[in-house]
Amino acid sequence: MRMAKSAHVNKRIFVTVLVVLILVNSYHLWLGKRYFSHIARAALHDRQAQFRDNFYYLLDKYAPRCSPLELVGSAGWPRYDAVFETVRKNHINNADEILRPMQIAHDGFVQSIQKLDVPYLILTEGIVSSAGGKYMPTFVVTLRLLRRTRCTLPVELFVKDSTEYEPQICERILPELNARCVVLSEVMGLEEPKNSNKANRADGVKIEHYQLKSFAVLFSSFEKVIWLDADCIPIHNPAILLTTDPFQSTGLVTWPDYWASTISPLYFTISRQPEFPSTDRATTEAGVFLVSKKAHSRTLLLAAYYNYYGPSHYYHLLDQGAPGEGDKDTFIQAAAAVGEKFYTVSEKVADLGHQRYEGNDHDIIHVAMLQADPMEDYKLTQQGKWRVEDTSEAPAPRAFFIHANMVKFNPGEKLLEESSNKNDDGRRRMWAAPETSVRRLEYDVERAAWEEVMAVSCTLRSAFETWEAGDGLCEDVKMHWAAVFENRDTDGLHFTQQ
């Protein structure tokens, strides 16, 4: 009888503990969904502090013990060709000196990150970007355009350090748009918050320029991340991309650049992976990409390693002086090195600009890059239709993003100058050609962009630290709007492929 009673008590204890565990787990799931929960963020901050100490230790322990890479010439400007393969060439001068030390360091780092967990709030998804200084107005315009697509995903804007933190923007403007500023140097422990008496725990760690992107993604709070450069404009609501293929089946999606891969053969030896044919994929245009931290923690850790040692070693190794040398290929090559899945959009990046000579749609002044809908691209490639090899296979996927890489939507810089007509001193559209690109837009994106530029210029003229009060930006933008868009049709442009 006593044994039966004891068993009954033990069963009750077990059930009670199980219920408590379920409740605690459910609470943490709820916290993950509650992006702005102070409790969740505080817990994340503690986990990030522990993570970064371990991560910095590994970065230092597995530093390449060799001189920086030396280039002999460069790989040039080779355009991507999906049909005719080219042989990879090495342009690293001190190959014999760096090969073995870099391989040893790479081996050690890859092995050491197997059990290193990247912290994030579970079941969360959001958009991550970085901006500061003259790029802050551009980001705000992009953010407003994002909200026009009815996207409600939270946004984390990383600024490099406290000198780029703009209180009026970060504390008043962005929260109204479900966005917040994150000071990267603080979350990385490189710079303690104001009024803190703590010592710097990351002496010697320095992040800037192309390195910012990989570390911003790594230290963002979201599980599923859409990275957007400050000048990369979503044409449609990007939230759907996180719930559909190819992202659902791979956890990492990137878009192509114009250029052929110029990775040195040495890299494949160092990372112990086979070379891929030059026809397989172009280099990456990293103005936008999608990544799951749950599925790709090792990818992100290795990409951060590549970027940390990028200026001294890996940027030359991965690009060899080709256009856009920097972080662009670090994510895909990191995924390949650790054996994690990825999908590279097959559809080529397309030019978007205006005709150099009226009536000639084949001579375009490049202003921006058109990037394809990955869902439509994936459907085509799953059917064995590779437009990158033969454009007659199927109609082009609709455009999903515009990377305004040449002319940013910041009237405080050169926007108004670049959008004027040099021939008759008038005004013109920037995104009016070629017709094949314009038809893929599906609506007048440039008009929408100028509406937001006008709103930002006229209502936030004193908000940005790089804008001088009373500089006449609002009036200038209104003049451009009146000349190009007000009381005018679409100038004969067709925004549909039908």
Overall number of domains in the chain: 1
| 497 assigned to some structural domain | no
pLDDT score of 29 more than 60: no
Mean pLDDT value of segment 132-150: 97
Q: What is the mean pLDDT of residues 460-488?
A: 86
Give the pLDDT confidence of 245-275 residue by residue, as tens digits.
999 999 999 999 999 999 999 999 999 999 9
| pLDDT on residue 415 | 83
Q: Is the confidence at residue 76, as pLDDT, over 60?
A: yes
Q: What percent of the chain has pLDDT over 90?
A: 77
pLDDT of residue 169: 97
**Mean confidence (pLDDT) of the chain:** 90
What pLDDT is recorded for position 496? Answer: 80
Task: Report pLDDT for 4.
Answer: 52
Report how far residue 299's alpha carbon sits from residue 331's, in angstroms, rounded to the nearest whole number: 7
Comparing 39-48, 278-287, 316-325, 411-420, which segment has the lowest mean pLDDT? 411-420
Extract the runs of DSSP E, i.e. beta strands, from 39-121.
none
pLDDT at 302: 99
The pLDDT score that the predictor gives to residue 15 is 60
Query: Does pLDDT of 24 surpass 80?
Result: no
Helix, strand and coil percent figures for the chain, each rounded to 5: 45, 15, 45
CATH number at residue 249: 3.90.550
Q: What is the pLDDT of residues 279-317, one digit of tens each?
A: 999 999 999 999 999 999 999 999 999 999 999 999 999
Residue 428 banded pLDDT, cuts 50, 70, 90: confident
pLDDT at 52 over 90: yes
User: Quick check: is 202 in a domain?
Assistant: no
Q: Is the pLDDT of residue 422 over 80?
A: no
| Amino acid 198: pLDDT | 47
* Dihedral sign computed on CA atoms, order 371, 333, 330, 110: positive
Percentage with pLDDT > 70 across the chain: 87
CA 251 from centroid of its chain's CA atoms: 14
Instruction: Give the pLDDT confidence score for residue 193 in this predicted structure.
Output: 55
- Residue 14 is predicted with a pLDDT of 61
Residue with tokens 């802050």: 136
127 assigned to some structural domain:
yes
Domain residue limits at 169: 38-189+209-344
Average pLDDT of the segment spanning 337-354: 98
Pairwise CA distance, residues 298 & 246, whole Å: 20
pLDDT at 25 over 60: no
Confidence of residue 20 (pLDDT cuts 50, 70, 90): low
Q: Exposed e or buried b for every residue in 438-476, given b needs 16+ CB within 10 A?
A: bbbbbebbbbbbbbbbbebbeebbebbbebeeeeebbee
The answer to whether position 291 is within a domain reads yes
Asked whether 193 and 161 are in contact (CB, 8 A), the reply is: no
DSSP per-residue codes, 455-491: HHHHHSTTT-TTSPTTSSHHHHHHHHHHHHTTT---T
- Write the pLDDT tens digit of every residue in 187-204: 999 876 554 444 444 556
CA 39 vs CA 20, 27, 30, 467: distances in Å: 19, 11, 11, 37
Task: Indicate whether 430 belongs to any domain.
Answer: no
CA distance 165 to 188: 15
CA 99 from chain centre, in angstroms, equals 30
Q: How far is CA 269 from CA 26, 266, 321, in A?
A: 46, 5, 19
61 has a pLDDT exceeding 80: yes
The pTM of the full predicted model, rounded to 2 decimals, is 0.90
Residue 16, pLDDT score: 67
Q: What confidence tens digit (pLDDT) does each residue in 225-244 have? A: 999 999 999 999 999 999 99
